[in-house]
Amino acid sequence: MESRNFTKMRHGRGKALAAITILATSLALLGILLPGTALAQGSVRSWGMGGTGVASARGLDAVNFNPANLAFSEGFSVGLATASVDVHNNSISLDRYNEITGAYLDTADKQQLLNDIPDAGFKLDADVNASVFGLQSGSFAMTFNAIGAGSGNLDKDYFDLVLFGNQLDETVDFSNTYGEGYALGSAALSYGGVLRASDSSRLSYGFSAKYLYGIYEMHVEDAYGNLYTGMDEIKGEAFVSTVSSEGGQGYGLDLGLALQAANGWTLGLSLENIYTNVNWDRNVQVNEYRVDAADINAINDDLSSAVANSDTSYASASYSTTLPRELRFGAVNRFGPLDVAFDYVQGFENRGVTSTTPRFHVGTEWLLTGMIHPRFGLAVGGVAGTGASAGLGLKLGFWQLDLAAVSRGGLDPNKTKGVAFAAGTSLVF
């Protein structure tokens, strides 16, 4: 009888402790993602063309991709407003989400869902970008943006515990949990100049010097947790420590090269965030949340006495962060009515949407008329995986409107693991 009672207690109280443990770390991780408005770098035109731009971007678009292209930009343009939203994960497709929403999951369904999650865990990236104003005249540009990044990862063992419960003589570990998020305002001055020119080619350089105004930053300093289920007791712990700040300031620098070669080809090379530093010094705070549980068994009926938790906050010293660095190389040429562009992107670190796994982009813009420019593109590799995009540019006199939609994680809309939308308007003279 005692063994049967302990089995019931083990499942009931194990689920209670599992819920406490998951809640402790998940709330902190969600705290990273929710305030973390994030940079979805690039122009709307680029989004429609699969993310290409290091060789093809001109005017204000060149600031985001390669300031050296400002040397090849003519005329005068005013960026009125641009906004984009990009949300994607590495595990759950739209098809799978529709299957499991509101449905009863048997053991096979649960195992299939768990298999969808990589061993590294469930990763979520949520990006938002807003350009509030831009001004470009020939080789010079001035831009103002709201930028940032938000990313988080939940250990795969979370989902194992939620789907299958705690198993006898098993330790579930949640240590592979992390996240960061920030929001910044950026004011940039950009210039592109010609290094060398001949009858058949022009080589240019460019830079963007940025002042960064810190609005908010939060990151997980430390996070771990585990749950053990034995014959005599259930015990576990969870700990999350986050550091946050409500303001700071810093500087950044982007560099680029571009070559207009023979036969219509343009090549581009850029280093984004080759130097950045943001010093966060306003209202710096450390938050620590801990849950400890032990001696949960058939004899101890008081769950509250077996589970202890603490929530501590205290002021801390200022700290500095950097923005993720990327190298881009690309090429573009015109074939009849089509502009065709290729980009290779290499991140120097794994942070948010930046990855050390290379990403390849290809895109085209169909110059159908002087007013209507359909765009299409593909991308593979990196964090978001395979994706397709479509966009449209409309030009009515001096006024230009750009729209784009992107599928993340697959070409089949039902297999997509995220979506992105962008829209922007400007005046081009």
DSSP-assigned states of every residue in 26-71 = HHHHHHHHTT------S-HHHHHTTT--TTT--TTHHHHH-GGGGG
For the chain, domain boundaries: 2-428
The 3-state DSSP class for residue 354 equals strand
What's the CATH number for 2-428?
2.40.160
Give the model confidence (pLDDT) of 295-338 as tens digits.
665 555 555 666 677 889 999 999 999 998 999 999 999 999 99
Residue type, 352: G
Which distant-in-sequence residues (6+ apart) come within 8 Å of 210 by Cβ?
A: 186, 187, 188, 251, 252, 253, 254, 276
Q: Among the residues of 67-204, which ranges form H helices?
A: 94-100, 107-116, 156-164
**What pLDDT tens digit does each residue of the chain (429 aa) get?**
444 333 444 444 444 444 444 444 444 444 444 333 333 345 899 999 999 999 999 999 999 999 999 999 999 999 998 988 888 888 888 888 888 887 888 888 888 888 888 888 888 887 888 888 999 999 999 999 988 778 888 888 878 877 887 677 777 777 788 888 889 999 999 999 999 999 889 999 999 999 999 999 999 898 887 777 777 777 778 888 999 999 999 999 999 999 999 889 999 999 999 999 999 999 999 999 888 877 665 555 555 666 677 889 999 999 999 998 999 999 999 999 999 999 999 999 988 778 899 999 999 999 888 899 999 999 999 887 888 999 999 999 999 999 999 988 777 777 788 888 999 999 999
Q: Which two tokens stand for residue 88?
A: 């994607």
pTM: 0.81
d(CA 10, CA 100): 27
For the chain, the maximum distance between any two Cα atoms, rounded to a whole number of angstroms, is 94
Give the model confidence (pLDDT) of 113-141 as tens digits.
888 888 888 888 878 888 889 999 999 99
φ, ψ at 233 (rounded to 5°): -160, 165
- CA distances 397 to 371, 379, 400, 401, 429, Å, are 8, 32, 8, 11, 9
